[in-house]
A = this chain, B = another copy of it.
Amino acid sequence: MKIALAQLNYHIGNFEGNLSIMKDAVLKAKIEKADLICFSELAVCGYPPRDFLEFRDFIKQSIHVVDQLCELTEDIAIVVGAPTVNPEIEGKDLYNSAFFLSGKKVQYIAKKALLPNYDIFDEYRYFEPNRSFDTLSFKGKKIALTICEDIWNLGNQNPMYTICPLDEMISQKPDFILNLSASPFSYEHASSRLEVIRANVLKYKVPMFYVNCFGAQTDILFDGGSAVLSPDGSCYDEMPFFESCLRYYDLDEVCNGGVSKEQEKGEIELIYKALVLGIRDYFSKMGFSKAILGLSGGIDSALTCVLAVHALGKENVKVLLMPSEYSSGESVTDALALVKNLDISHEIIPIKSVFDQYKATLQDYFKGLPENVTEENIQARVRGMLLMAFSNKFSYILLNTTNKSEMAVGYGTLYGDLCGGIAVLADVYKTQVYQLSNYINRAGEIIPWNSISKPPSAELRPGQKDSDTLPEYDVLDKILYQYIECHQGPNEIIAMGFDEATVMRSLKMVNKAEFKRYQAAPVLRVSSKSFGLGRRMPIEGKYLN
């Protein structure tokens, strides 16, 4: 039996587009005489469809795509994910399902049993969990058809769930396992995912064909990395990360095992690829092509700029240098060096005249009061407004350059440097920004070395340094990681050996900044806990604050 796996990039609610790329893959698979082609979880409507699922019309359109795919199954079987309506009155309205289509008929519908409802996942908001399990037969083979999380409760050891779907199916002696996933990227996740697949295969002594989607859905990034594992636990194939891929596998060969094609999973390289894809897909799926950003001469905007050029092409990236009276000479020099290295279009627009006009307009009201953070914010906001003016006039989309450390502690100006359509680095700690920048420069300077080596500064007042306001980033980032990614409280973090005052100050800053993050741009998610829908905090919460 020849099995095709299609790792594709879907677009939520773009039924026509999704159908079109799937049809294309089906036609190719027919030419290759594949018996079966398998797409990923909810491929028909894109994942995560969120509250679109609450519209009957959305479900109807989704089923219509399944019908059209079904028409193509005279000489090939198609497995594809789509929502189905729960016919029972009791329970949620929908199932998260996988259709097995062949001979122009729906031969089987598998329903997802384990519904993730943590972090960015809300599946229990929409779906009823499946409670009955069966294999299906196709050309003399028995298939255990599972969906994503269904393979993540091996040995019933995941405390979130009380059932293990493959335990229920294994007595029927399936010849292979199919798993349709929509498994998002995080830099820690790519390895653990393969280990979970392997553990399943080793336990049940049955090969698994695991097909994931790739592509960005605004903030949520999917990396692909679809895999085929032999019963001996060897990795028969692993598809590349963040790429479209259609490959064919002979079941018997897979069963033989002994092949190992695991790919490297370097964290920084994966983050780099994830961010480039995140920018590219945001633009293509929103129907945009050109990006703009402000270059300060610092490392965050430099890195964002390189990523944008790699994602969109140098002809589609424009930068503004907007020096103020507090900008150092080297800021402009460093920014211009990057412009030259990347060969991109730029303008230098000093902000002094607009800043002065704001101050003149406000002078009667601010009389006798010292300049303070108000004037710092005005400068950041003038920059934001100039960028937005270019955005509006020329249809550029503004990229936000805030990093995760700043976003965490609220070191940034709302409606100023927090402006932007998408926040490229806001899930990348400052210490990771350095690692990524060094990765970018691995074959020679792209980001000016001086942008990397000089001490970070917002340059909103004379001689300002980040370290005037914040703990050193190498300490701060470790504290933030424990608090945000690991859910450790103040006592646990202090017990790890961090200075108590620094810990309390950092956590307080994080909680106090919730109101800023609420209004921030969507954040490209690369970690296991990113700001956005995956982290839901009360704004006015008084805890540690």
Considering the complex, give the chain B residue whose CB is closest to the CB of A518.
B522
Whether the pair B57, A491 counts as a contact (CB closer than 8 A) is: yes
Complex: how many Å from CA A351 to CA B535? Answer: 39
Q: Does A85 sit at the interface, judged by CB under 8 A?
A: no
Among listed A22-30, A224-232, A264-272, A378-386, interface-contacting one? A378-386
CB neighbours (8 Å) of A377 from chain B are: 388-389, 392
Q: Does A138 sit at the interface, judged by CB under 8 A?
A: no
Q: Which of B56, B390, B489 contacts A489 (CB 8 A)?
A: B56
Question: Shortest beta-carbon distance, A344 to chain B, in Å?
Answer: 16
Which residues of A31-63 have CB atoms within 8 Å of chain B's CB atoms? 46, 48-52, 54-58, 61
Q: Does A21 sit at the interface, judged by CB under 8 A?
A: no
Knowing A13-B545, A357-B354, A489-B56, the reply to whether A365 touches B390 (Cβ < 8 A) is: yes
Considering the complex, give the chain B residue whose CB is closest to the CB of A385.
B381
Knowing A159-B90, A385-B358, A533-B536, the reply to whether A52 touches B372 (Cβ < 8 A) is: no
Chain copies in complex: 2
Among listed A116-124, A201-209, A330-338, interface-contacting one? A116-124
Q: Does A453 sit at the interface, judged by CB under 8 A?
A: no
Whether the pair A415, B349 counts as a contact (CB closer than 8 A) is: no
Q: Does A373 sit at the interface, judged by CB under 8 A?
A: yes
Question: Shortest beta-carbon distance, A74 to chain B, in Å?
Answer: 30
Whether the pair A415, B385 counts as a contact (CB closer than 8 A) is: yes
Which residues of A89-146 have CB atoms within 8 Å of chain B's CB atoms? 89-93, 117-118, 122, 124-125
CB neighbours (8 Å) of A240 from chain B are: none
Complex: how many Å from CA A14 to CA B286? Answer: 41
Question: What are 13 A-B contacts defined by CB distance under 8 Å?
Answer: A49-B538, A57-B490, A122-B125, A125-B536, A347-B365, A349-B361, A353-B360, A354-B358, A354-B361, A358-B386, A365-B393, A381-B385, A388-B414
Complex: how many Å from CA A490 to CA B13? Answer: 14
Considering the complex, give the chain B residue whose CB is closest to the CB of A356.
B357
Complex: how many Å from CA A374 to CA B389? Answer: 6
Whether the pair B487, A218 counts as a contact (CB closer than 8 A) is: no
